Amino acid sequence: MATAEFGKAVRRRRDRVAPGDAGLPAGGRRRAVGLRREELALLAGISVDYVTRLEQGRASHPSAQVVEALAGALRMPGEERTQLFQLAGLAPPGPDTVPAYIPPSVHRMLDRLAGTPVAVYDATWTLLLANPPYTALMGDPSQWRGNARNAVWRNLVGPPGRARYTPEARARFEAALVSDLRTAAVRYPADERLKQLVDDLRAHSARFAGLWDSGASGRHEAARKTIDHPDAGPVTLDCDVLTVAGSDLRIMLYTAEPGTGDAGRLAEITAPAAVR
């Protein structure tokens, strides 16, 4: 019963969220005003098939991460979010676990940055949301699962990304990521997913283990990054990270100096045709 009711709750909310409300273009003729399953899957970072199975009651026991991603993508207010966790047979996250809820106020801010590549991460640097311009610039994260959605894992264990670093810059960046993860581990001691991430990183990355054991420190600062885009070529951008007070969310955004060739290439990359 809980599985069926969970799917019904997701479907009801999906029917009530217009694409524009979720920061997406309406795009073409639509049979309904709500989000398509494909759009919800994109926003939540899960597969369309999994959304379908959840809504039809054919998938059981969604993880807390999936429930949080769906609640955020559907812009559920606090009461509905709590109920969605309960329908999934889960306790809503407490104060000792890493927050992954994106408040409506942050969504409204992101809507105003619709033409800017923006990604939202939690305190562990796990990706919660990437808007279409970010996806066009950095690659589609919708197929990433588990640890693959975590920036510490992707930079220390996963395949190379599109950002170009000097050896010195990469060393500083990795130290800052590990320092942030250590801070999160101290702040959220009851978060089992975070404990497992640290264990997995230690098991798969000698570099991480060395930085973790040495107590390496670092902090994210505004930086210039060169992104090697497969179609537009190298584009050099300003990368800034903003922290949302009270929720530990990190908002990463990329901008270009107006009137430069990089600004033109970024506009080409993030044009509607490129982010469809």
pLDDT tens figures, 78-88 = 888 889 999 99
Residue entry with tokens 């970024």: 266
Output 28-37 pairs: Cβ under 8 A, ≥24 positions apart: 35/74
- Give the pLDDT mean for 221-230: 90
- Give the pLDDT mean for 184-196: 91
Assigned CATH class of 104-270: alpha beta
Provide the total of helices (H) and of strands (E) in the chain, helices listed first. Answer: 12, 6
Judge whether residue 273 has pLDDT over 50. no
User: Rounded to the nearest 10 degrees, how much is the dihedral formed by the CA atoms of 233, 238, 239, 240?
Assistant: -160
**Which sign, positive or negative, has the C-alpha torsion 220, 68, 92, 80?**
positive
Burial class (CB in 10 A: 0-12, 13-18, 19+), 31: exposed
How far apart CA 127 and CA 147 sit, in angstroms, is: 10
Predicted confidence at residue 220, as pLDDT, reads 75
Structure confidence at residue 73 as a pLDDT band (50, 70, 90): confident
Of all residues in the chain, what percent carry a pLDDT higher than 70?
95
- Give the pLDDT mean for 192-205: 95
pTM for the model? 0.77
Most confident option among 1-5, 26-30, 111-115: 111-115
Residues 6+ apart with CB under 8 A from 213: none
Whether 265 contacts 136, CB under 8 Å: no
Least confident residue range of 3-17, 95-109, 110-124, 146-160: 95-109
Longest distance between any two alpha carbons in the chain, whole Å: 58
Helix (H) or strand (E) holding 263: helix 261-270
How far apart CA 211 and CA 177 sit, in angstroms, is: 10
Strands 249-255, 223-229: pairing kind? unpaired
Judge whether residue 12 has pLDDT over 70. yes
As given in the structure block, the two tokens for residue 99 are 């927050």
Predicted confidence at residue 14, as pLDDT, reads 93
CATH 1.10.260.40 in the chain, residue ranges? 2-87
Judge whether residue 179 has pLDDT over 80. yes
- Give the pLDDT mean for 130-141: 91
Which CATH fold would you assign to the domain 2-87?
434 Repressor (Amino-terminal Domain) (1.10.260)
Most confident option among 124-133, 166-175, 198-207: 198-207
